[in-house]
Chains A and B, each alone.
Chain A
Amino acid sequence: MSASEWVAVALLIAGCFFYLAGTIGLLRFGDVHSRLHALTKADNLGLMLVCAALAMLSANWRTAALLVLVWLLGLLAATVSAHLIARHARRGGD
């Protein structure tokens, strides 16, 4: 394996670690709002690392740009849905 492949594998493993940590946070934290913290922030970082790893493996600018776009759209979806769920929970929905 080349050096860049090793770096990509390390990034993939780190990304999966943050997804795992986010899920553990979701299970361990006690209330809706704290759980949202774990989901949005840890998963954002996980997605960032996985996208970076895949961009390195593809070694292609178009694919790399596509992965950046995937990450940005993922961020947007995460932050908007977190805000909506948090507001709903705070205003007394169930």
Chain B
Amino acid sequence: MGKRFISNRQRLVWIGQTFLVLAVIWLTLNGLDGWWLGLLAASVGAVTGGLLASGRPYPWRPHRLAGFAVFFLFESFKGGMDVAWRALKPKMPIAPEFRHYPLDLPEGQPRTLMVSVISLLPGTLSADLSDDGQELVVHTLMPEAMDSVNRLDRRIRHLFSLELPESGEE
């Protein structure tokens, strides 16, 4: 695997996407007052981000992002309820352990999204990522928590139009 080189065209796409996100954040925070300063800040941020990016940007579809957002809202809601219930119950039903999860999502947005979102799903926390990025250590509060990691993996593949691994693991 090792380093994946990113072409100039991909870098431009990355810069464009980052610029849009930063500009929307600026608009929400400040409205149109001092728009030129926002334009400058968003440009500088986007170019810096684009130059530092290591993975290539992956194409994603807006309607799939909406589906992913619904999945995320629902799962993170369940995650909050679940841990609140475990914390308040007198017996405190938790069985913490570390699990290893082979991560074969590509470097860049898919992998970053995976590592970030895991911590908000029911019972899972991303505890460590091996240096080559191929293995994720997940801390789980209960044995069945790994199911939601598999579901998240499939959702992210769908969002970025990546193929599923050949063997459907069960």
Contacts and interface: CB of A to CB of B under 8 A. Distances in A.
Interface string B80-117: 11111111100010101010000000000000000111
Interface residues of B, number: 35
Contact of A86 (B77, B81, B139): B139
Contacts of B85: 21
A38 interface: yes
A41 B137 contact: no
Contacts, number: 109
B80 A86 contact: no
A11 interface: no
Main SS of the interface on chain A? helix
Interface in A33-82: 33-34, 36-38, 40-42, 44-46, 48, 62, 65-66, 69, 75-76, 78-80, 82
B29 to A, nearest CB: 7
Given A41-B76, A41-B79, A86-B139, A22 B120 contact: no
Given A37-B125, A69-B25, 6 more contacts: A24-B88, A31-B96, A33-B96, A36-B139, A44-B120, A83-B115
Interface of B: 25, 28-29, 31, 76-77, 79-88, 92, 94, 96, 98, 115-117, 119-120, 122-123, 125-129, 137, 139, 141
Interface of A: 17-18, 21-22, 24-25, 28-29, 31, 33-34, 36-38, 40-42, 44-46, 48, 62, 65-66, 69, 75-76, 78-80, 82-83, 86-87, 90-91
